[in-house]
Amino acid sequence: MDKNSIIGLLLIGAIMIVWSIMTSPSEAELEQQRLQDSVAQTERLAEERRAQEAESPQSQAPAPEALDDSTRASQYETLYGAFAQAAQGQNQFVSIENELIRLTVSTQGGKPYNVTLKEERYTRYDSVPVHLFDGPDNFFGFSFFAQNRLINTNDLFFEPQAGKTQIEISPDGQAQTLKLRLDAGGSDRYIEYAYTLTPGSYVVDFDVRYVGMNQVIASNVNMLDFKWQFDAPRQEKGKSWETDNTTIFYQYYDDEVNYLTERSEMEEEDITTDVKWFAFKQQFFSTILIAETAMNSALLKYQQHPDPDYIANFLAETSFPYAGGPEQSIALDLYFGPNRYAELKEVGKTYEDVEVSLQEIIPLGWGIFGWVNRFLVIPLFNLLGGFISNYGLLILVMTLLIKLLLFPLTFKSYQSSAKMKALKPDIDELSKKYPADKPEKQMEKQQAVMALYRKAGVNPLGGCLPILLQMPILIAMFRFFPASIELRHQSFLWAEDLSTYDSILDLPFSIPFYGDHVSLFTLLMAAAIVVSTQLNSGQMNDANSQVPGMKFMMLWLMPIMMVFWFNSYSSGLSYYYFISNIVTIAQVAGFRRFTDDEAIRRKLHEAKRQPEKKSRLQTRMEELQKEQARLRAQGGKPAPTKKGPKKPPQTP
């Protein structure tokens, strides 16, 4: 064997030794595994002994139960240290409630086990009360190292602290408080959860106290990790639409609100800065955790759920500062309730350290569209809601009021279209003078058309600008209706729920991009759009005819696309667009009835014969052009300046 071979073997051996050292479990991990194996072996031996006892009932051997309990207690003490007693217990459920919600807490983990909304208007699509979450798989708790052991409060048993009733009532008889204590090996060492609920509120105060835990938690621990995870049940009839509107919102401390991308099978965000609150948001309901101070970073994740009875799995992992003193508190608030703009905004006002914008979880649109919803649509909707209980009629009245508000713009647009129509014969003459088969003449045609508009006093954009000014309201409505919880379970005519789609026929199959049902409000909306477009196209000149297929696209293609698009949308939105187009049709018909096209044409021709009015800028530009032309004619020399007679010198 040569020298190189020996060196190679030595290097291979060294690598294998280093690899085995690096991958071998630590002493703590080995000890933990030995303890777990010991517990498993103890359970197995106890089971075998009980089997032998059953086969030999006359045996005089002592009963193993006492020994098993003692051994098990010893093993739990080795595994959980000061929390050994809390590792064993029987799960119980304790509830606190007001007229709005019922919160059921599990003593295992001291965690919220179930939240039920009690108001009759808040039921699921199948008439079952709304449960925001429910089940033993919920994970809710803190984790930390204590006595060289990783402790998860979610796995340990808490004890209620208020005797038989288990609920403390405030001196004024209003607030209910449920206190649960996790024993850490002594009356002066424990973790306490306190849930407090007041009448008329969806917010539960959640206070966590660490008492004497500096004797148990490792001295080098300065952060307490917190994890909350649960499956969100389905609440609405249209699961696909509810899924598309399910995500996690959060707010940076004293900063803007952000959210995880919607309509994704799985989305995750690792936030490295302080967070004020996060919300597990569904279409109409949310579960929100708000910190009185701040959370140090957060990992947020949601994943669409494959089970048809669930929407998503939510996960949030964050941490809170831990000072290590004899007593420390963490103050949190839990919001369990509807995504109602006024309600969320009012809850946010209770925090003084920073601005809490919980209402931002409602998708009202960005920029000007959100402003229209906040300052026009929502106030008007709430105002009418105080007088009109039927939401179908409310939408009708609100549509009429908005169309009345926009009437000046609509009339201005019609007037401009009528003037353009009156000038159509003149434009046709210009088209003959400058035929389309001569591209070099098209610039001259455009100049001639603009000169015609200018002489007649017609603004070619006069019909477009009013329509553009109406667009923010149309788009704002597109965001408002699907997000309005007030429409949920509100019926009108054949629509059972204005917040989701209406169906007059359920298909035995599903059509791609359309669905498995037929929405009548969507069909009526599309038909109204066709009629409205046909009427308005008669007022326009032949501009659309210059673009091949434009008339077909505007008259037929767009309504057909909207049938597919809106079939699974909120029926309240389709109903609003249907009413809006019906009012537009009536307005155009009225304008035509009371508008004299011949009078408009005569007036325009009279305006053409009048001398064209020039602005100061036009006059100044023409003077400059004349001056430049005169200078060029003189060879670029300035005109001679006239001088007066020379003055005689003055005598001093």
Taking the chain (652 residues) in runs of 10, the rounded mean pLDDT of each run is 61 65 55 46 45 43 46 74 85 91 93 92 89 88 88 90 64 82 87 93 94 87 92 89 90 89 85 93 94 91 90 94 88 94 90 87 86 89 89 93 85 74 72 69 71 67 65 86 88 90 88 87 91 70 49 74 88 91 86 68 62 60 70 62 52 46
Give me the residue label for tokens 């169906």. Answer: 503
User: Nearest CA to 206 among 136, 142, 300, 117?
Assistant: 142
Average pLDDT score over the chain: 79
Q: Which domains does the chain have, with CATH numbers?
A: 85-362 (2.70.98.90), 370-423+458-602 (no CATH)
For 315, what's the count of Cα atoms within 13 Å in the CB-facing half-sphere? 14
Q: Cβ distance 365 to 374 under 8 Å?
A: no
What pLDDT score does 344 carry?
A: 93
Determine whether 234 is exposed, middle or buried from the number of CB atoms within 10 Å of its CB (0-12, 13-18, 19+). Answer: buried
Cβ–Cβ under 8 Å, residues 576 and 583: no
Q: Whole-model pTM?
A: 0.74
| CA separation for the pair 538, 417 (Å, rounded) | 9
pLDDT computed for residue 562 by the predictor: 87
CB 161 within 8 A of CB 180: yes
Rounded Cα gap, residues 180 and 159, in angstroms: 5
DSSP calls for 557-606? IHHHHHHHHHTTS-HHHHHHHHHHHHHHHHHHHHHHHT--HHHHHHHHHH
Angle subtended by helix axes 391-405 and 378-385, to nearest 10: 130
Residue 478 has a pLDDT of: 87
197: nearest Cα among 291, 336, 340: 336
511-517 — which CB contacts under 8 Å span 24+ positions?
A: 513/564, 514/563, 514/564, 514/567, 515/567, 515/568, 517/567
Hey, is 210 helix, strand or coil? strand
- Residue 621 CA to residue 26 CA, distance in Å, equals 88
Residues 6+ apart with CB under 8 A from 613: none
pLDDT at 42: 39
* Exposed / middle / buried, residue 114 (Cβ in 10 Å: 0-12, 13-18, 19+): middle
Among 182, 179, 169, 11, residue whose Cα is nearest residue 89: 182
Angle at 146 between CA 145 and CA 151, to 5 degrees: 65
- The pLDDT score that the predictor gives to residue 375 is 87
